[in-house]
A = this chain, B = another copy of it.
Amino acid sequence: MTQPLLSPSRRLRRTPFSPGVEAAGVKAYTVYNHMLLPTVFRSVEEDYRHLKEAVQVWDVACERQVEIRGPDAARLMQMLTPRDLRRMLPGQCYYVPMVDETGGMLNDPVAVKLAEDRFWVSIADSDLLLWVKGIVWGMRLDVLVDEPDVSPLAVQGPRADELMAAVFGEGVRALRFFRFGWFDFEGRSLAIARSGYSRQGGFEIYLEGGEMGMALWHALMEAGRPFDVRAGCPNLIERIEGGLLSYGNDMTRANTPHECGLGRFCNTLTAIGCVGRDALLRVAQEGPVRQIRPLAIDGPAVPACLEAWPVTDPGGRRVGQVTSAAWSPDHATNVAIGMIRMTHWEPGTRLVVETPAGRREAEVRARFFHDEAKG
């Protein structure tokens, strides 16, 4: 299949960094939160190699923020997630699964606690703003909920610390994982977190005020020359190797957090008041009957995964599905993310995946691929 064209329009919002992305020769986009998200610069494989060796600047402005502030902000935040937030401090980021009343995933954002009564929720691809506003209206809560003019820019790769130190000073190196601090840029204070959608390490800069976008972009590109910086984007191969789930691809409203392997981020017993608590109490105790698993798919490179691929046992019985897959040059196999029934999820289990390129044998892995490399 030839790759189709995208018809741009105002509805598919540009970002403060779009001129930089275009000048860097972006080849393809996806649409994420009604906004353009680059997917390819040179090629997915070339971008992948470079991400693992140098440093990239990513326009992830599509990680829109839902700002929640006011007297009821903390109470509302705890309604939104089964993760216990009582120990969360200002300066911390928490990965917070958010579910509806059935325990079905609505989003898997990162919550950023700015103050006791002020949060940003950095969202995956669904209009979480509407969910939050609906609850607030229905309960007449005392909070303001809005989408502020905040556009994250990610700096990812093994040389991210060097580049960030060159622009924001040596202090940025001291940031711990999923913590953020305030750093000066051209007289403005920006929240910078050690986080990002890769396993190569790096930072996310929460740019407040889109008009500064290209100044920030250019400053990073300029300072990054010695480190071979390039424009980049979340990389399909690297994220699958790393087991980084994608909302809408690997999980939907049909899935509980426990099915997605996010049970460790749920404290259903103590997260009192959270939506979906009743629905999740049982699954939290007993565990799910299907769960996300890493799979290796045999044979040559599989095509892009555009619909869930059925997974069966060798006898043809349906036992799950694959929702993300790509050829991994480093692991010399097709790496994949699947949702597999308990009866067949043990590491080493041999399965069959029905891809558009035909039936392929596959194996359940014990852990995602980036861990294997380290092990």
Q: From A247, which residue of chain B is reached at the shortest CB distance?
A: B11
- Interface membership of A24, Cβ < 8 A: no
Residues 4-36 of A at the B interface (beta carbon under 8 Å): 4-12, 14, 22, 26-31, 34
**Bound complex: CA A249 to CA B7 (Å):** 13
Q: From A34, which residue of chain B is reached at the shortest CB distance?
A: B248
Q: From A304, which residue of chain B is reached at the shortest CB distance?
A: B8
Q: Interface residue tally of chain A, by bracket? A: 35 or more
- Interface membership of A185, Cβ < 8 A: no
**Bound complex: CA A128 to CA B130 (Å):** 7
Q: How many copies, total?
A: 2
**Bound complex: CA A26 to CA B324 (Å):** 25
Q: Tell me if B100 and A39 are in contact (CB < 8 A).
A: no
- Interface membership of A373, Cβ < 8 A: no
Which residues of B sit under 8 angstroms from A22, Cβ to Cβ? 1
Which residues of B sit under 8 angstroms from A9, Cβ to Cβ? 30, 246, 248-249, 304-306, 324
- Interface membership of A343, Cβ < 8 A: no
Residues 30-87 of A at the B interface (beta carbon under 8 Å): 30-31, 34, 39-40
The 19 listed contacts between A and B (C-beta, < 8 Å) are A3-B7, A4-B26, A4-B28, A5-B27, A6-B29, A6-B31, A7-B28, A7-B30, A9-B304, A10-B249, A10-B307, A14-B307, A127-B131, A128-B130, A130-B130, A131-B131, A134-B138, A135-B138, A136-B138
13 new A-B contacts at CB < 8 Å, known A3-B8, A5-B27, A9-B324 = A4-B26, A5-B28, A5-B40, A7-B30, A10-B308, A10-B323, A30-B31, A130-B130, A130-B134, A134-B136, A135-B135, A136-B138, A137-B275
